[in-house]
Amino acid sequence: MRLILTILLFAIAQPVCAQALADNPDMTRIFTDDQKVRESNFKGLDIAAVLKADAERREATRALLDSGKLTTGTDFWEAAFIFQHGDKPADYLLAHSLAIAATAKGRADAAWISAATLDRYLDAIKQPQVYGTQFRWKDGGPVTQEPYDRTVVSDRLRAIMGVPPLAEQEKRRQALEKERGK
């Protein structure tokens, strides 16, 4: 009889134990809104309004994080992108931590955002980037990745992190330069 009860309890409990955590729909909506704005490359957008909306998305994401409502790798991955679009070093450092959490939770493609958030954080604290994910240009000047310490991270590590090797980065920089010249 005990064996039958044990088997019955196991059979009843198994579907509950097997249920995977679901991605947070609020986080998914915040992420989708964030990415939609960026699809246009900001052409024709009111930048002040974009920055205000970015701040609101960070606030909403922070509330989800602080309340424990982010649980899956995807939740943390999406949150990393929200804080990557921050405006201060602490935002980028949190984005980096969220990307690492996403990777730890099984989101393998979070490696790239982990590298990008580290580069952005380093830039914000006036240190050279190490992966080469950040391109910039000002007032008609050339497209650059500087400051960039290309010796810290090897192309092999860049590949593991989903970041193109130095030669491909240079091709991308040149393509961006050509595109800007149009």
Instruction: State the CB neighbour count (10 A cutoff) for residue 132.
Output: 24
- 102's tokens: 């996403």
The tens-digit pLDDT sequence of the chain (182 residues) is 565 545 545 555 554 444 468 999 999 999 999 999 888 766 677 888 899 999 999 999 999 999 999 999 999 999 999 999 999 999 999 999 999 999 999 999 999 999 999 999 999 999 999 999 999 988 778 999 999 999 999 999 999 999 999 999 999 999 998 887 75
Q: What are the sequence ranges of the domains in the chain?
A: 25-127, 129-182
Q: Report the amino acid identity of residue 161.
A: M
Rounded Cα–Cα distance for residues 36 and 121 (Å)? 24
Tell me the whole-structure pTM to 2 decimals. Answer: 0.84
Rounded Cα–Cα distance for residues 63 and 116 (Å)? 24
Nearest of 111, 130, 108, 110 to residue 119 by alpha carbon: 130
Give the largest Cα separation in the chain, rounded: 82
Rounded Cα–Cα distance for residues 49 and 69 (Å)? 27
